[in-house]
Amino acid sequence: MITGILFPSDEEQPIKRVEVDAENVEHIQSIVGGSYEAFNFDSPPASIFANDEAMLWSLPHNLRATVLLWQHAKGLRGQAYISGDAILMGMPDGRGITKSVPQQLITLLLESETYGVEFLHHPDGPWSRKAVTFSGWLEAYNYAIIHEETFATVRSARVIGV
């Protein structure tokens, strides 16, 4: 069993840590409601598993999983939308075995209480932080995405726990 983070599409339901049998296809299918695909992050090494027939079944949009994906897999921003329940797990190892979600994402998404956003303006750094603090990670991620898309001087943004 590995550790994942479940993102229910129902925003009234909290995200939560779950134990997943990553080698059991049926177990993952039971979580996401059918056959699935993995969306890989650029960094940290993680993947979101979501129902690959969500559009056919008109599953509800999963805003939280989509925003997380757009920030961590920038090439998919505005291109991929996640619908239905989704689960965040680690990337597969060299043998193709999916690993647990990275601890830094568990800490950020499940254990932090306040969040900040840091910006990179030059390729070689440094990161700078605006004085704005957020009480929820979703708002911080949205702020980061909007700034990356709006301001030409922002090369990258990241959400941190503060």
Do you know the residue count of the chain? Answer: 162
User: DSSP code of 46?
Assistant: E
The mean of the pLDDT values for the chain is: 93
Only one residue has tokens 């920038």, namely 74
Task: State yes or no: pLDDT of 131 exceeds 90.
Answer: no
Task: State yes or no: pLDDT of 59 exceeds 90.
Answer: no
Report the C-alpha gap between 161 and 144 in whole angstroms. Answer: 13
**0.85 exceeded by pTM:** yes
**What pLDDT does 76 receive?**
93
Q: Phi, psi (5° rounding) for residue 53?
A: -115, 20
Residue type, 152: A
**Closest Cα to residue 62, out of 87, 93, 95?**
87
Q: 63-73: per-residue pLDDT in tens? A: 999 999 999 99
Beta bridge partners of 48: 39, 88
**Closest Cα to residue 131, out of 123, 148, 143?**
143
